Amino acid sequence: MRLTGNEDLRVIKTIEGIKSAFESLICEKDYNKITVKELCERARINKKTFYHYYETLDMLLDEMQTELSLGFIECIKDYSLPEDLDKVNREFFVYASKQSLAYEKITCGGTYHSIRDEMTSKVNNEGWSKSKKYQKLSDYEKRVLMVFINNAVLGAYREWVQDKKKIPMDEVIEITNRIVLSGVRGFFK
């Protein structure tokens, strides 16, 4: 349930408790292993309360995915692609570094492929839809370009996380941008 700010304090605390419990469970296990019963126990609510706000765990996951996607889209809304791709890549690393461990888990592994793909798709559609250069591409070229960029950037992020972020973030961004920008600039020549 998206909070508007007009809710009763008890509703706000309940929703925050559900989301907090959900995030902690995501950090501990794959999504397909999380149950409503377990979530309710962790959030200290009964199942009826959960179902009052969410029909399914999938709806809660979808809401989380939407909030994360919209948060990043807000960060990149003033950039033009492909011209500002280096800045968008930087924003991704900065945004990701400010998110919870659950975001890291969703982005880096487990059974979160579908949510990760949905988030990536929303961001790509929003970010690239205004690009005249991108719109001139065939559907196949658009798909290949997105696969290249997404795999390179997300792959670099996953490697950085897996390496326990030993390399400074600015260095990881620079390496990622060297790889991605050389490919994209060559593609649009």
pLDDT reported for residue 118 = 87
pLDDT in tens, 71-116: 999 999 999 999 999 999 999 999 999 999 999 998 987 778 888 8
Domain ranges of the chain: 9-55, 62-187
Q: What is the pLDDT of residue 8?
A: 79
pLDDT of residue 81: 96
Q: What is the pLDDT of residue 147?
A: 96
Number of other residues whose CB lies within 10 A of the CB of residue 82: 21
Q: What is the CATH number of domain 9-55?
A: 1.10.10.60
pTM value?
0.89
Q: Which residues of the chain have pLDDT under 50?
A: none
pLDDT the model gives residue 5: 62
CA distances from 55 to 25, 72, 95, 155, 187 (A): 18, 26, 30, 34, 45
Rounded Cα gap, residues 79 and 34, in angstroms: 38
Residues in Cβ contact with 7 at an 8 Å cutoff, skipping those fewer than 6 apart:
15
